[in-house]
Amino acid sequence: MQWQTNGEEWKKQCAVRQLCKYRTDWGLQKFREYLSKYQIDSELLKLYGDQWQKGNKGEWGKWI
């Protein structure tokens, strides 16, 4: 998928990249603790899972 620049897609991509970054920086246990404390939109979690499996670790501007 190419980098999307419209407002809503950009916000989603930024949020997903941030989740990937947290997972990379904190490790799985702390990341799961974070997810349990907050309600995260199911669409964002699906996008996060897809991006994580493709290798996105939260680098700025990366969208696979």
Q: How confident is the model at residue 1 (pLDDT cuts 50, 70, 90)?
A: very low
Closest CA to 13 of 3, 25, 24: 3
- Over residues 24-55, the pLDDT tens digits come to 999 999 999 999 999 999 999 999 999 999 99
Using only the alpha carbons of the chain, give its radius of gyration. Answer: 11
pLDDT of residue 62: 86
pLDDT of residue 2: 52
